Copies of this chain bind each other. A is one copy, B any other.
């Protein structure tokens, strides 16, 4: 890697000015074909690649969108053992035990949606994990706008950043802030699910298995549950029966706890799929039948809900569309900074499968 060539080198080699080189890239129609050919030849010849930093600086726009995710707890298991060699190879034939599934399809899907939509608009996507102030240092300064999951960035920091670039929050409820918000209809989805269990399966003994108490998603879903019960004239609980942390292993634990306590309701409406799958694991392990003895429902619509036995009745939220909608909103905001704060809600779909007794 010798010295990186710049516009100046290209201009020299092509016998034109740097302005012309720049124009070949930015406004090709303003350059004659002959000149374009000469410049392009020089570009190829030198291996020239325009500097994004310089371009962004001069053009006063980064051409990138920031995506800020919560820290991947515990995922950071240290570096892998790399075998740098030719021939040296490790064959492991032993472990018949299983690996833990890589939970967060949710994030992956949102990421994918963001990526797709951003790319459609010629924007790059820069990903960051919220960890201390690095978002501030490393991300906020290099993007035109930021998308973040709710509760990911400390409020003070986010406010500071929002003075600088527009911020779109995914999956949170507005709390007096001025950010744009994109979410799914947790309330309506869970309400519909609840009423389905009551109406279609005649169950009036339902309980809600929740997630973290500080999750706005969980809050809304519980609210939807309560609204569903209310509509059916069933008495409302003020709190979820139990709370987990949205993981499958916590779900298993909660399931076991219910069985041990000896009071398993006729239907368990869970706040997300992972929890529901864990509950399912626990119930089945103790010999209970789903849906015959206990009905279990989830929320999210992750792939695993489709391959479980029985398959999980759940509310599918369009995770990929979430990222997509966030990008659209961000771009509209960039186009019109004065627009009032937006709140977008994506519709959800109730998927009826075996775990509630449908398709049985």
Contact = CB atoms under 8 A, between A and B. Distances in A.
A161 to B, nearest CB: 6
A33 interface: no
A256 interface: no
Contact of A53 (B62, B85, B111, B353): B62
Interface in A116-172: 116-117, 119-120, 122, 124-129, 131, 134, 136-143, 160-161, 163-166
A105 interface: yes
A342 B84 contact: yes
B1 A117 contact: no
A142 B80 contact: no
Contacts of A142: 51-53, 56, 64, 124
Contacts of A62: 52-53
Nearest to A323: B80
Given A53-B62, A98-B306, A328-B79, A192 B93 contact: yes
Interface of A: 1, 4, 25, 44, 47-57, 62-64, 72, 75-76, 79-86, 89-93, 95-96, 98-99, 101-102, 105, 108-109, 111-112, 115-117, 119-120, 122, 124-129, 131, 134, 136-143, 160-161, 163-166, 182, 185, 188-189, 192, 196, 301, 303-304, 306-309, 316, 318, 320-321, 324-325, 328, 337, 342-353, 358-359
